[in-house]
Amino acid sequence: MCEISRGGHEMHFYESYEQYVDSLANNLIQTGNNDFLLTGSRERIIYTYKKDALERLSLGQHFGAQINHNTTSLKSSLTGYVWNREDTSRAISYNDSVFGTFHAFEILDLEKAMKEIGWKLSLDCCFKEYYSGDWPEIVTYTPTESQILTMADIIGKYKTWPIRGNVYARDEEIRKKEEREKSIRERTGSRSTDLSGAVEVVFPDTSDRVTDFVRNHVGWRGKCIVKLKPPAPPSKAKPRPYLELSGSSPEIVYMSRIARKEYPLLVSSVGAELYVSVELLFEEAYEGGRYRLTIAP
């Protein structure tokens, strides 16, 4: 029987993203100067086409195999079926002899990042059992798709392995912040150097938040002034901030409430202008559409 080995581990829940990134060092292990072994708890089938290269292996034995990009066609000695390379399907070799094929998927992204800096990737394979008489069934143990893509991203960006989880997590947080602010600038037209306080408000098209302006101005962006609507007497409720498009016929763009996430931004900006954009989003998870208002200083 094959056992998960050489750093592979069962599914685990991590206390932090930093700890998760640190754990990936157990899945991509340096075995030589530029040689690395990919291993993990996910079992993937390798389809055996030629068994000659595997004859010296023992049942249950682990071995390192490599993706072979030069082989584009392979005929099974067992069934006569001919495999042709396409998409992410690749041949795989042991001791420089092609013996099978598998679906490499995201492993190709990792291998590409490694090749760019002169590193070689091997897969943790195992002779699991026999089928059809003496025909070997081979499997490979890999991390999950998301783990492999994270490895590929790290190696592609930092050109080293492993990297401390707190460093990668910090840099990812900065990157996501920069991407968000870039998107908000493109949507709203804001040129503020600090958009950390910008707010994206999403609500269904059946919500009472949908004003006539929002419904009739999908794709609009521009400046709105923030005003306060006092409560009707004798209510002692706090005034409600709202966005108004100024002009000869002022229009209410959006009315806020105290419990909503945009409320602090609007209350602190009464009398000032904010950049606003209106979008209608269509997503399969929701029936109908959802409006998104982006509000930025």
Query: Is residue 9 over pLDDT 60?
Result: no
The residue among 201, 176, 172 whose CA lies nearest residue 188 is 201
Give the type of residue at 266: L
Phi, psi of 107 (to 5 degrees): -60, -30
Rounded to two decimals, the pTM is: 0.79
Query: Is residue 10 over pLDDT 80?
Result: no
Residue 50's Cβ-count burial label (10 Å; 0-12, 13-18, 19+) is middle
3-state secondary structure of 43: strand
Phi, psi of 207 (to 5 degrees): -70, 150
Do residues 49 and 102 lie in contact, with contact meaning Cβ atoms separated by under 8 Å?
Answer: no
200 beta partners: 294
pLDDT band for position 8 (50/70/90)? Answer: very low
pLDDT band for position 289 (50/70/90)? Answer: confident
Strand 28-30 with 97-103, pairing: unpaired
Query: Is residue 248 over pLDDT 90?
Result: no
97 beta partners: 94
Q: What is the pLDDT of residues 89-126, one digit of tens each?
A: 999 999 999 999 999 999 999 999 999 999 999 999 99
Query: Is residue 6 over pLDDT 70?
Result: no
% of the chain surpassing 70 pLDDT: 95
pLDDT recorded at residue 290: 92
Query: Is residue 228 over pLDDT 80?
Result: yes
pLDDT recorded at residue 254: 96
pLDDT recorded at residue 14: 85
